[in-house]
Structure 1
Amino acid sequence: MSGLCQEVPQLAKAMILVIDVFDKYAKKDGDAVAGSLSKGELSDLLKAELGEFTSASDKANVDEFFNQLDADKNGTISFPEFMAFTATLTMLIQGLTHGENT
């Protein structure tokens, strides 16, 4: 029980936050289970959570971006597809902040 009272490590907090953000937007269209993102939910997520990092205000860009993320072409973005995007974006940002060419 004492382990539950200890502070959650920073990386674990970050992982929980990513899950919470995905679930928040995946439930926006009324799904009882937050299993995937629709195109509208992805657009809302990009605008609210990434702002300047994306050009989510342009519908054509969102459509293209959605199609690239939807690896299995089922019309939704699953959590694994979202995580692949999140990992790639994180590496790009890390390269930019450290002056690396990626």
Structure 2
Amino acid sequence: MGWGEVRSRVGPITQRVPPAVGAMASQLEGAMETLINVFHHYSGKEGDKYKLSKKELKELLQSELGCFLETQKDTGAVEKIMQDLDENGDGEVDFQEYVVLVAALTVACNTFFWENA
């Protein structure tokens, strides 16, 4: 199943579902909350508060994935990432596009670590 198929099945999430009062979050729920919080920490500093501008994306990548970017010898890596993620061509990265990046990096890391273990 490809990302496009997954995205079409899940569709946009139109409302927030708060965790049950007093319930402890699972590791996965905590990870999802972190992904959401990281995105919104960087989004909306300029322009649309629900999207990352190129500058905001660069700041997120440098702060949150600095080690990954350091290994990239291509000085245009952020520009290429932005072009690859910006599926709708609006010059910004929305939450769904951001999740695609995180998922792709997670798959790559999983492959690397499990094949080299």
The answer, yes or no, to whether TM exceeds 0.5 is: yes
Q: Map Cα deviations across residues 15-61 of structure 1 (whole Å, 9 max, x no partner).
A: 00000000000032265xx3100000000000000111125896522
1:1-40 counterparts in 2 under 5 A?
Answer: 3-29=20-46, 31=48, 34-40=49-55
Q: TM-score, normalised by structure 2?
A: 0.73
Aligned equivalents of 1:72, 1:21: Cα separation in 2? 22
Q: Is the 8 A contact 1:70 1:81 kept in 2?
A: yes
Q: Is the 8 A contact 2:42 2:52 kept in 1?
A: yes
1:5-84 counterparts in 2 under 5 A?
Answer: 5-29=22-46, 31=48, 34-55=49-70, 60-84=76-100
Q: TM-score, normalised by structure 1?
A: 0.83
Larger helix proportion, structure 1 or 2? 1
The amino acid of 1:8's aligned partner reads A
Q: Which runs of 5+ in 2 are unaligned?
A: 1-19
Aligned equivalents of 1:74, 1:30: Cα separation in 2? 12
Q: Which runs of 5+ in 1 are unaligned?
A: none
Q: How many residues align?
A: 96
